[in-house]
Amino acid sequence: MNLAELNKVAQAMVAPGRGILAADESSGTIKKRFDAIGVESTPDNRRDYRELLFRSSEAMSKYISGVILYDETIRQNAKDGTPLVKVIENSGAIPGIKVDKGTKPLPFCPGEVIPEGLDGLRERLAEYRRLGAKFAKWRAVIDIGPDIPSYAAIMTNANALARYAALCQEGDIVPIVEPEVLMDGDHDAERCYVITEWLLKTVFEQLYYQKVALEGMVLKPNMVIAGKKAKNRASVEEVAEKTVRVLKACVPAAVPGIAFLSGGQSDEEATAHLDAMNRIGGVPWRLTFSYGRALQAAPQKAWSGRSENVAAAQRAFTHRAMMNSLATRAQWKQDLERKAA
Protein backbone atom coordinates (compact mmCIF):
# COMPACT_ATOMS: atom_id res chain seq x y z
CA MET A 1 0.00 0.00 0.00
CA ASN A 2 1.32 3.42 -1.00
CA LEU A 3 -0.31 5.56 1.70
CA ALA A 4 1.20 8.84 0.45
CA GLU A 5 -0.37 8.27 -2.98
CA LEU A 6 -3.72 7.19 -1.48
CA ASN A 7 -3.79 10.31 0.70
CA LYS A 8 -2.97 12.52 -2.30
CA VAL A 9 -5.90 11.09 -4.28
CA ALA A 10 -8.26 11.29 -1.25
CA GLN A 11 -7.29 14.95 -0.70
CA ALA A 12 -7.91 15.72 -4.39
CA MET A 13 -11.35 14.06 -4.18
CA VAL A 14 -12.38 16.53 -1.46
CA ALA A 15 -10.45 19.55 -2.82
CA PRO A 16 -11.90 22.95 -1.76
CA GLY A 17 -14.97 23.91 -3.80
CA ARG A 18 -15.20 20.53 -5.54
CA GLY A 19 -17.31 17.42 -5.10
CA ILE A 20 -17.93 14.02 -6.65
CA LEU A 21 -20.43 13.21 -9.40
CA ALA A 22 -22.11 9.85 -8.73
CA ALA A 23 -22.79 8.55 -12.27
CA ASP A 24 -22.82 4.90 -11.21
CA GLU A 25 -26.54 4.14 -11.56
CA SER A 26 -27.16 0.43 -12.15
CA SER A 27 -28.86 -0.59 -15.41
CA GLY A 28 -32.17 -0.85 -13.54
CA THR A 29 -31.90 2.57 -11.91
CA ILE A 30 -30.92 4.45 -15.06
CA LYS A 31 -33.76 2.72 -16.94
CA LYS A 32 -36.21 4.19 -14.39
CA ARG A 33 -34.64 7.66 -14.81
CA PHE A 34 -34.75 7.38 -18.60
CA ASP A 35 -38.35 6.09 -18.55
CA ALA A 36 -39.30 9.29 -16.68
CA ILE A 37 -37.93 11.45 -19.54
CA GLY A 38 -39.17 9.16 -22.34
CA VAL A 39 -35.75 7.86 -23.41
CA GLU A 40 -35.01 4.22 -24.23
CA SER A 41 -32.23 2.83 -22.01
CA THR A 42 -29.78 1.53 -24.65
CA PRO A 43 -25.97 1.36 -24.24
CA ASP A 44 -25.61 4.21 -26.79
CA ASN A 45 -28.16 6.45 -25.05
CA ARG A 46 -26.55 5.81 -21.67
CA ARG A 47 -23.16 6.61 -23.19
CA ASP A 48 -24.40 9.79 -24.91
CA TYR A 49 -26.03 11.04 -21.71
CA ARG A 50 -22.98 10.44 -19.54
CA GLU A 51 -20.66 11.83 -22.18
CA LEU A 52 -22.58 15.12 -22.22
CA LEU A 53 -21.96 15.39 -18.44
CA PHE A 54 -18.27 14.52 -18.69
CA ARG A 55 -17.81 17.02 -21.54
CA SER A 56 -19.40 19.89 -19.56
CA SER A 57 -16.02 21.58 -19.41
CA GLU A 58 -16.87 24.38 -16.94
CA ALA A 59 -18.57 22.05 -14.43
CA MET A 60 -15.93 19.32 -14.69
CA SER A 61 -12.88 21.59 -14.55
CA LYS A 62 -14.10 23.90 -11.77
CA TYR A 63 -16.56 22.04 -9.53
CA ILE A 64 -16.22 18.25 -9.98
CA SER A 65 -13.25 16.43 -8.41
CA GLY A 66 -14.14 12.87 -9.41
CA VAL A 67 -16.76 10.68 -11.09
CA ILE A 68 -18.07 7.33 -9.81
CA LEU A 69 -18.66 5.06 -12.80
CA TYR A 70 -20.64 1.88 -13.37
CA ASP A 71 -18.97 -1.26 -14.80
CA GLU A 72 -20.47 -0.63 -18.25
CA THR A 73 -19.39 3.03 -18.35
CA ILE A 74 -15.74 2.51 -17.38
CA ARG A 75 -15.42 0.27 -20.47
CA GLN A 76 -17.22 2.61 -22.91
CA ASN A 77 -15.72 4.95 -25.47
CA ALA A 78 -17.12 8.38 -26.29
CA LYS A 79 -18.70 8.93 -29.71
CA ASP A 80 -15.34 9.99 -31.15
CA GLY A 81 -13.64 6.82 -29.85
CA THR A 82 -11.96 8.36 -26.77
CA PRO A 83 -12.40 6.16 -23.68
CA LEU A 84 -14.83 7.90 -21.27
CA VAL A 85 -12.19 7.48 -18.54
CA LYS A 86 -9.84 9.65 -20.64
CA VAL A 87 -12.58 12.26 -21.19
CA ILE A 88 -12.91 12.50 -17.38
CA GLU A 89 -9.14 12.67 -16.84
CA ASN A 90 -8.74 15.32 -19.56
CA SER A 91 -11.30 17.49 -17.73
CA GLY A 92 -9.12 17.40 -14.60
CA ALA A 93 -11.39 15.02 -12.63
CA ILE A 94 -10.53 11.59 -11.22
CA PRO A 95 -12.29 8.40 -12.46
CA GLY A 96 -13.69 5.98 -9.87
CA ILE A 97 -15.82 2.83 -9.90
CA LYS A 98 -18.75 1.35 -7.97
CA VAL A 99 -17.77 -2.20 -6.93
CA ASP A 100 -20.60 -3.57 -4.79
CA LYS A 101 -22.98 -5.77 -6.76
CA GLY A 102 -26.20 -4.51 -5.19
CA THR A 103 -28.04 -5.83 -2.15
CA LYS A 104 -29.61 -9.19 -1.30
CA PRO A 105 -31.78 -10.11 1.72
CA LEU A 106 -29.80 -10.71 4.92
CA PRO A 107 -30.64 -14.23 6.20
CA PHE A 108 -33.00 -14.33 9.21
CA CYS A 109 -33.25 -10.51 9.25
CA PRO A 110 -36.62 -9.64 7.67
CA GLY A 111 -36.58 -6.33 5.79
CA GLU A 112 -32.77 -6.00 5.95
CA VAL A 113 -30.13 -6.38 3.25
CA ILE A 114 -26.41 -6.91 2.65
CA PRO A 115 -24.42 -5.95 -0.48
CA GLU A 116 -22.78 -8.71 -2.53
CA GLY A 117 -19.45 -8.43 -4.32
CA LEU A 118 -16.64 -9.29 -1.89
CA ASP A 119 -15.89 -12.59 -3.66
CA GLY A 120 -13.39 -11.93 -6.43
CA LEU A 121 -13.13 -8.26 -5.48
CA ARG A 122 -9.30 -8.26 -5.34
CA GLU A 123 -9.13 -9.33 -9.00
CA ARG A 124 -11.88 -6.90 -10.08
CA LEU A 125 -10.08 -4.00 -8.37
CA ALA A 126 -6.85 -4.87 -10.21
CA GLU A 127 -8.74 -4.82 -13.52
CA TYR A 128 -10.50 -1.52 -12.70
CA ARG A 129 -7.14 0.01 -11.80
CA ARG A 130 -5.82 -1.02 -15.23
CA LEU A 131 -8.91 0.63 -16.77
CA GLY A 132 -8.03 3.90 -15.00
CA ALA A 133 -9.97 3.91 -11.70
CA LYS A 134 -8.18 5.66 -8.83
CA PHE A 135 -10.94 5.19 -6.27
CA ALA A 136 -13.88 2.86 -5.64
CA LYS A 137 -17.24 2.94 -3.90
CA TRP A 138 -19.20 0.39 -1.85
CA ARG A 139 -22.67 1.26 -0.51
CA ALA A 140 -24.24 -0.37 2.53
CA VAL A 141 -27.88 0.50 3.23
CA ILE A 142 -29.59 0.46 6.60
CA ASP A 143 -33.35 0.86 6.82
CA ILE A 144 -35.21 2.21 9.86
CA GLY A 145 -38.47 0.46 10.77
CA PRO A 146 -40.44 -0.78 13.80
CA ASP A 147 -37.92 -3.49 14.78
CA ILE A 148 -34.99 -2.59 12.57
CA PRO A 149 -32.12 -2.10 12.15
CA SER A 150 -30.88 -5.18 14.00
CA TYR A 151 -27.42 -5.63 15.46
CA ALA A 152 -26.80 -8.31 12.80
CA ALA A 153 -27.53 -5.87 9.94
CA ILE A 154 -25.37 -3.09 11.39
CA MET A 155 -22.46 -5.43 12.14
CA THR A 156 -22.43 -7.43 8.88
CA ASN A 157 -22.74 -4.30 6.74
CA ALA A 158 -19.96 -2.51 8.68
CA ASN A 159 -17.72 -5.57 8.41
CA ALA A 160 -18.28 -5.85 4.63
CA LEU A 161 -17.51 -2.13 4.18
CA ALA A 162 -14.25 -2.52 6.12
CA ARG A 163 -13.18 -5.65 4.21
CA TYR A 164 -13.89 -3.86 0.91
CA ALA A 165 -11.89 -0.80 2.07
CA ALA A 166 -8.90 -2.95 3.05
CA LEU A 167 -8.90 -4.70 -0.35
CA CYS A 168 -9.03 -1.30 -2.09
CA GLN A 169 -6.07 0.06 -0.17
CA GLU A 170 -4.10 -3.15 -0.73
CA GLY A 171 -4.59 -2.51 -4.48
CA ASP A 172 -3.69 1.22 -4.20
CA ILE A 173 -7.27 2.36 -4.75
CA VAL A 174 -8.91 4.92 -2.43
CA PRO A 175 -12.13 3.50 -0.91
CA ILE A 176 -15.23 5.64 -0.60
CA VAL A 177 -16.91 4.11 2.45
CA GLU A 178 -20.67 4.64 2.09
CA PRO A 179 -22.84 3.63 5.08
CA GLU A 180 -26.31 4.97 4.28
CA VAL A 181 -29.23 5.20 6.68
CA LEU A 182 -32.18 5.43 4.28
CA MET A 183 -34.69 8.27 4.50
CA ASP A 184 -37.63 5.97 3.66
CA GLY A 185 -40.12 5.51 6.49
CA ASP A 186 -41.76 7.80 9.05
CA HIS A 187 -38.98 8.18 11.63
CA ASP A 188 -37.99 11.63 12.90
CA ALA A 189 -34.52 13.18 12.71
CA GLU A 190 -33.74 12.17 16.30
CA ARG A 191 -34.23 8.47 15.47
CA CYS A 192 -32.05 8.95 12.38
CA TYR A 193 -29.37 10.48 14.63
CA VAL A 194 -29.34 7.47 16.99
CA ILE A 195 -29.10 4.94 14.13
CA THR A 196 -26.49 6.97 12.21
CA GLU A 197 -24.34 7.22 15.36
CA TRP A 198 -24.59 3.45 15.95
CA LEU A 199 -23.73 2.69 12.33
CA LEU A 200 -20.77 5.11 12.08
CA LYS A 201 -19.25 3.96 15.38
CA THR A 202 -19.50 0.33 14.23
CA VAL A 203 -18.04 1.12 10.78
CA PHE A 204 -14.98 2.87 12.26
CA GLU A 205 -14.45 0.04 14.74
CA GLN A 206 -14.47 -2.45 11.84
CA LEU A 207 -12.16 -0.24 9.73
CA TYR A 208 -9.73 -0.31 12.65
CA TYR A 209 -9.87 -4.11 12.92
CA GLN A 210 -9.27 -4.46 9.15
CA LYS A 211 -6.22 -2.12 9.41
CA VAL A 212 -7.66 0.46 7.01
CA ALA A 213 -5.59 3.68 6.90
CA LEU A 214 -8.06 6.49 7.56
CA GLU A 215 -5.83 9.02 5.76
CA GLY A 216 -6.42 7.10 2.52
CA MET A 217 -10.24 6.96 2.42
CA VAL A 218 -13.27 9.21 1.98
CA LEU A 219 -16.50 8.80 3.97
CA LYS A 220 -19.85 9.09 2.14
CA PRO A 221 -22.57 9.16 4.82
CA ASN A 222 -26.22 10.17 4.92
CA MET A 223 -27.28 13.43 6.52
CA VAL A 224 -29.32 13.23 9.73
CA ILE A 225 -32.74 13.74 8.26
CA ALA A 226 -36.35 12.71 9.01
CA GLY A 227 -37.94 9.91 6.95
CA LYS A 228 -39.95 10.89 3.85
CA LYS A 229 -43.22 9.93 5.58
CA ALA A 230 -42.42 11.67 8.88
CA LYS A 231 -45.02 14.07 10.29
CA ASN A 232 -42.30 16.32 11.69
CA ARG A 233 -39.74 17.53 9.14
CA ALA A 234 -36.47 18.85 10.53
CA SER A 235 -35.48 22.37 9.47
CA VAL A 236 -32.34 22.96 7.37
CA GLU A 237 -30.56 24.27 10.50
CA GLU A 238 -31.59 21.23 12.58
CA VAL A 239 -30.40 18.77 9.91
CA ALA A 240 -27.06 20.62 9.72
CA GLU A 241 -26.62 20.79 13.49
CA LYS A 242 -27.47 17.12 14.09
CA THR A 243 -25.31 15.93 11.19
CA VAL A 244 -22.25 17.91 12.29
CA ARG A 245 -22.78 16.74 15.87
CA VAL A 246 -22.94 13.04 14.95
CA LEU A 247 -19.87 13.31 12.71
CA LYS A 248 -17.87 14.99 15.48
CA ALA A 249 -18.89 12.15 17.81
CA CYS A 250 -17.94 9.35 15.41
CA VAL A 251 -15.48 10.28 12.66
CA PRO A 252 -11.75 10.50 13.46
CA ALA A 253 -9.94 13.66 12.34
CA ALA A 254 -7.51 11.56 10.23
CA VAL A 255 -10.22 11.11 7.54
CA PRO A 256 -9.44 13.72 4.82
CA GLY A 257 -13.02 14.48 3.90
CA ILE A 258 -16.71 13.67 4.03
CA ALA A 259 -18.68 13.66 0.75
CA PHE A 260 -22.39 13.43 1.53
CA LEU A 261 -24.90 11.43 -0.47
CA SER A 262 -28.15 13.21 -1.36
CA GLY A 263 -30.31 10.14 -0.65
CA GLY A 264 -33.64 11.21 -2.11
CA GLN A 265 -33.48 14.91 -1.16
CA SER A 266 -34.46 17.48 -3.78
CA ASP A 267 -31.66 19.32 -5.59
CA GLU A 268 -32.03 22.48 -3.54
CA GLU A 269 -32.52 20.69 -0.21
CA ALA A 270 -29.25 18.80 -0.65
CA THR A 271 -27.44 22.07 -1.46
CA ALA A 272 -29.04 24.01 1.43
CA HIS A 273 -28.13 21.32 3.99
CA LEU A 274 -24.51 21.17 2.81
CA ASP A 275 -24.24 24.97 2.94
CA ALA A 276 -25.69 25.10 6.47
CA MET A 277 -23.17 22.50 7.70
CA ASN A 278 -20.26 24.45 6.27
CA ARG A 279 -21.62 27.60 7.94
CA ILE A 280 -21.39 25.82 11.32
CA GLY A 281 -17.73 25.01 10.52
CA GLY A 282 -15.13 24.09 13.14
CA VAL A 283 -14.69 20.53 11.84
CA PRO A 284 -11.40 18.75 11.02
CA TRP A 285 -12.53 17.41 7.61
CA ARG A 286 -13.67 18.97 4.37
CA LEU A 287 -17.44 18.65 3.96
CA THR A 288 -18.47 18.24 0.34
CA PHE A 289 -20.91 16.40 -1.93
CA SER A 290 -21.08 13.11 -3.79
CA TYR A 291 -24.51 13.51 -5.38
CA GLY A 292 -26.25 11.47 -8.07
CA ARG A 293 -29.84 12.56 -8.55
CA ALA A 294 -29.31 15.98 -6.90
CA LEU A 295 -26.75 16.83 -9.63
CA GLN A 296 -28.43 14.99 -12.50
CA ALA A 297 -32.21 15.45 -12.27
CA ALA A 298 -32.10 18.90 -13.95
CA PRO A 299 -29.71 18.01 -16.82
CA GLN A 300 -31.59 14.74 -17.49
CA LYS A 301 -34.86 16.59 -17.88
CA ALA A 302 -33.27 19.31 -20.04
CA TRP A 303 -31.65 16.71 -22.31
CA SER A 304 -34.63 14.33 -22.73
CA GLY A 305 -32.64 12.24 -25.25
CA ARG A 306 -32.34 14.95 -27.92
CA SER A 307 -28.98 16.02 -29.34
CA GLU A 308 -30.20 19.62 -29.85
CA ASN A 309 -30.70 19.84 -26.04
CA VAL A 310 -27.10 18.92 -25.10
CA ALA A 311 -26.02 22.53 -24.50
CA ALA A 312 -29.08 23.22 -22.30
CA ALA A 313 -28.45 20.03 -20.31
CA GLN A 314 -24.81 21.02 -19.80
CA ARG A 315 -25.88 24.46 -18.56
CA ALA A 316 -28.28 22.81 -16.06
CA PHE A 317 -25.52 20.47 -14.85
CA THR A 318 -23.01 23.32 -14.53
CA HIS A 319 -25.52 25.36 -12.53
CA ARG A 320 -26.16 22.54 -10.03
CA ALA A 321 -22.44 21.79 -9.71
CA MET A 322 -21.73 25.49 -9.09
CA MET A 323 -24.48 25.78 -6.45
CA ASN A 324 -23.01 22.81 -4.57
CA SER A 325 -19.49 24.19 -4.94
CA LEU A 326 -20.71 27.40 -3.27
CA ALA A 327 -22.31 25.30 -0.51
CA THR A 328 -18.94 23.64 0.25
CA ARG A 329 -17.62 27.17 0.93
CA ALA A 330 -20.73 28.30 2.88
CA GLN A 331 -21.46 30.84 0.12
CA TRP A 332 -24.73 29.49 -1.32
CA LYS A 333 -27.86 31.65 -1.22
CA GLN A 334 -31.41 30.74 -2.20
CA ASP A 335 -31.75 33.75 -4.48
CA LEU A 336 -28.88 32.46 -6.67
CA GLU A 337 -31.25 29.62 -7.64
CA ARG A 338 -33.99 32.06 -8.62
CA LYS A 339 -31.57 34.24 -10.62
CA ALA A 340 -30.56 31.23 -12.72
CA ALA A 341 -34.18 30.20 -13.26
Instruction: Work out whether the CA dihedral 329, 335, 339, 340 comes out positive or negative.
Output: positive
Write down the catalytic residue from 98, 134, 137, 220.
220
DSSP secondary structure letters along 49-93:
HHHHHHT-HHHHHHTEEEEEE-HHHHTPBPTTS-BHHHHHHHTT-
What whole-number distance in Å separates Cα of residue 315 and Cα of residue 56? 8
What whole-number distance in Å separates Cα of residue 77 and Cα of residue 239? 41
Is residue 62 part of the annotated active site? The answer reads no
C-alpha 43: how far from its chain's center?
23
What whole-number distance in Å separates Cα of residue 64 and Cα of residue 158? 28
Is residue 220 part of the annotated active site? The answer reads yes
Q: β-strand 103-105 against 19-23: which pairing, if any?
A: unpaired
**For residues 299 and 321, is the Cβ–Cβ distance under 8 A?**
no
Question: 21 CB contacts (<8 Å, ≥6 apart)?
Answer: 53, 64, 66, 67, 68, 93, 290, 291, 292, 295, 296, 321
Q: Per DSSP, which regions of the chain are E strands?
A: 19-23, 64-69, 94-98, 103-105, 113-115, 135-142, 174-181, 218-219, 257-260, 286-291
Write down the catalytic residue from 178, 180, 197, 242.
178
Catalytic residues: 178, 220
